[in-house]
Structure 1
Amino acid sequence: MIIIKKLKSILFFLLGTIALGFGIAGIVLPVLPGGPFLLIAFFCYAKSSKRMEAWFQSTTFYKKYVLALKENRGMTLKEKIRINIIADAFILFSVFYIDILLVKIVLIVLGLIKHYYFIKKIKTITPEQAQGLKNQA
């Protein structure tokens, strides 16, 4: 039982580290959304150990990119537009270059669901509110 718990902790640590790497890359690269990967990293580190969870919560990545999403406080309109434009570009690229009609339909439906989610489910906050959240953390 102890061995399984230790292996589980190591697995979550490795997954968290990989997700953190993708999240950092997503911050730098405009084609990769960093937020979801940072949320995955937080989840994995929290499952890994209390020490890793505390470490990740002390990083600027957590304070700047994860805290507002985690606490469901929202995103700025600029962030929403940037993420949607990048995702739409990839979806449209795929729709134009894939020959399978069913896949095209699925991609379009997923794109519409994404827009619904960003418009209706994620609260839009002002840049001042976002800065206030970052200063609180």
Structure 2
Amino acid sequence: MRYFYLAIGFVAFGLGIVGAFLPVLPTAPFLLVASFGFAKGSEKFDRWFKSTKLYKNNLESFEKNRSMTMKTKVKILAFATIMLSIVFFKYEILPMRIMIAVLLLLKYYYFLGVVKTTEQS
């Protein structure tokens, strides 16, 4: 299982790197998955990952303080809203539309109401 978690960590880390340069691909969710994979897979890789600039710029404040900058929140919410809206308007399946609307409301409640906002450092 250790190698499986490390593989997840490296794939997610790679996608996080791509997401740092492409505005349509979110960085933070992939880095959260990478953090989980490295933490489960290897203490050495977990320490390495947490020393990277990518981790420090995107996840360090969230992991330590359970808070994010408003810029990070907006990026995550904008990407999720766009992707879910495409599906919402493409298909006319009422139960699916209700589920997407509820999911969007919960995401906005969580990110804007539960997760604390910190100043840009």
State the TM-score, normalizing by the size of structure 2: 0.90
2:115 aligns to what? 122
Tell me which stretches of 4 or more aligned residues in structure 1 moved more than 6 Å.
none
2:84 aligns to what? 91
Query: What is the root-mean-square deviation of aligned Cα atoms in Å?
Result: 1.4
Amino acid at match of 2:78: I
- Where do 1:1-137 residues align within 5 Å? 8-127=1-120, 131=121
Offset at 1:82?
2.9
Q: Which moved more, 1:115-124 or 1:85-94?
A: 85-94
State the TM-score, normalizing by the size of structure 1: 0.81
Offset at 1:81?
2.2
Greater radius of gyration (CA): 1
Deviations 1:84-105 (A, max 9, x none): 2222122221111012111111
Q: Figure out how many residues of one structure are paired with residues of the other and give that number.
A: 121
Query: Which 5+ residue runs of structure 1 have no aligned equivalent?
Result: 1-7, 132-137
Structure 1 vs Structure 2: percent identity of aligned residues?
Answer: 39
Query: Which 5+ residue runs of structure 2 have no aligned equivalent?
Result: none
Task: Give distance in 2, aligned partners of 1:21 and 1:38.
Answer: 9
